[in-house]
């Protein structure tokens, strides 16, 4: 028995018989079809739309992983690993059309069927992709081994962002069966760029300049500066390796295009006072980042600077200022330096 509110038994019976015939006008080659049920026809239509959207919005877990390693003391060290996981959500329910001949209700509820024209949906999606396709295409031109680092890194971030926005909708086009040939190579293009990025990271090094340090009364002497400089250099070099980069251990910039070197120049201000519990020595750090001259970047270029005083480097001893200084040196740790160094390098290194 069919509910009178949905057109009565006669309308329900006609709908049941007419539906298969009506759906022949929506072949799978040109349309997608889904059916849903609910307490009312409106609920059934929403359920059908949700079912069709779920078919199109299949989650994608694409692992675009490029690994680069270099041998350090005979041991292989992983440098670059990148995973990309995206999911898509079909946002064009307005393109889904209800098939009237398939709408019916019974004592058990209502049922509705919706259809989606594959070509119409693809046209809408491809139009929306336009700006990000342009961004990706433009950025890929700068993702080469010979492009300057300060051109390569912004291009990488643009390409990565454009891809992350494109991939869900490309996934939808694949499900709909209307992925244009011109867009089918997006994954391979980004993978090629990742390989180039890995090569750039392998040949990128960071050089820690000698420390410039001031005390309460002027520049620290070489003897006073030595333990702080040694500890800071050791910890910074360890942090450089921890973020996946090479330490440049030479005393001059490299020549040729085989290596690119970023220079980290630390400066410090040391102050010692008599605190509540005894002598207390503190160190405030600042750093400047520059790029060594190269054939691609023929002049030294200042890139950034940062105050690292938030590190709270401090040493306290009940009686002896010299011991307080030793404890100050011991307070400089790689664990504290690494996040600050990573933030300093991030805008200029294609992590």
Domain range summary for the chain, segments of one domain joined by +: 4-201, 204-345
Cα separation, 2 vs 106, in Å, equals 4
Q: Classify the C-alpha dihedral 338-344-346-348 as positive or negative.
A: negative
**The pLDDT of residue 75:** 44
**The pLDDT of residue 324:** 95
Cα separation, 81 vs 326, in Å, equals 38
**The pLDDT of residue 300:** 73
Cα separation, 151 vs 139, in Å, equals 9
Measured at the alpha carbon of residue 212, what is the angle toward residues 209 and 214, in degrees to the nearest 5? 165
**The pLDDT of residue 3:** 36
pTM: 0.79
DSSP H/E element including 70: strand 68-72
Give 10-residue mean pLDDT values along the chain (351 residues): 39 65 95 97 96 80 44 42 60 94 94 98 96 97 93 96 92 94 94 94 95 95 96 97 94 83 96 90 96 78 92 92 95 95 96 88
CATH of 204-345, one of 3.30.160.180, 3.50.50.60, 2.40.170.20, 3.40.50.300: 3.30.160.180
**The pLDDT of residue 296:** 67
**The pLDDT of residue 7:** 43
Nearest to 66 by CA among 171, 204, 193, 242: 193
Q: Tokens 């890995």 appear where? A: 198
**The pLDDT of residue 247:** 97
């Amino acid at each position: 028995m069919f509910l009178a509110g949905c057109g009565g038994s006669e309308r329900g019976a006609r709908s049941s018989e007419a539906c298969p015939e009506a759906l022949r006008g929506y072949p799978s080659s040109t349309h997608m079809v889904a059916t849903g049920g609910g307490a009312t026809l409106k609920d059934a239509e929403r359920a059908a739309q949700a079912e069709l959207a779920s078919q199109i919005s299949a989650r994608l877990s694409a692992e675009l992983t490029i690994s680069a390693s270099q041998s350090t003391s005979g041991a292989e060290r992983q440098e670059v690993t990148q995973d990309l996981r995206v999911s898509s959500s079909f946002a064009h329910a307005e393109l889904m059309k209800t098939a009237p001949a398939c709408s019916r209700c019974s004592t058990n509820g209502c049922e509705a069927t919706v259809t989606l024209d594959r070509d119409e949906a693809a046209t809408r999606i491809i139009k929306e992709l336009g700006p990000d396709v342009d961004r990706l295409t433009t950025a890929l031109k700068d993702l080469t081994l010979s492009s300057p680092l300060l051109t390569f890194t912004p291009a990488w971030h643009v390409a990565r962002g454009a891809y992350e926005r494109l991939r869900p909708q490309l996934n939808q086009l694949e499900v709909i069966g209307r992925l244009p040939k011109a867009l089918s190579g997006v994954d391979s293009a980004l993978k090629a760029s990742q390989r180039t990025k890995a090569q750039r990271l392998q040949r990128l090094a960071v050089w820690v300049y000698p420390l410039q340090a001031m005390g309460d009364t002027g520049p620290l002497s070489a003897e006073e500066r030595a333990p702080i400089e040694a500890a800071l250099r050791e910890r910074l070099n360890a942090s450089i390796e921890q973020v996946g980069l090479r330490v440049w251990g030479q005393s001059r910039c490299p020549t040729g295009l085989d290596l690119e070197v970023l220079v980290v120049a630390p400066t410090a201000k040391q102050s010692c006072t008599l605190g509540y519990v005894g002598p207390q020595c503190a160190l405030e750090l600042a750093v400047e980042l520059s790029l060594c001259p190269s054939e691609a970047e023929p002049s030294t270029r200042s890139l950034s600077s940062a105050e690292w005083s938030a590190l709270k480097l401090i040493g306290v001893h009940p009686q002896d200022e010299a011991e307080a200084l030793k404890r100050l040196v011991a307070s400089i740790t790689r664990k504290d330096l690494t996040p600050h160094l990573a933030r300093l390098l991030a805008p200029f290194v294609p992590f």
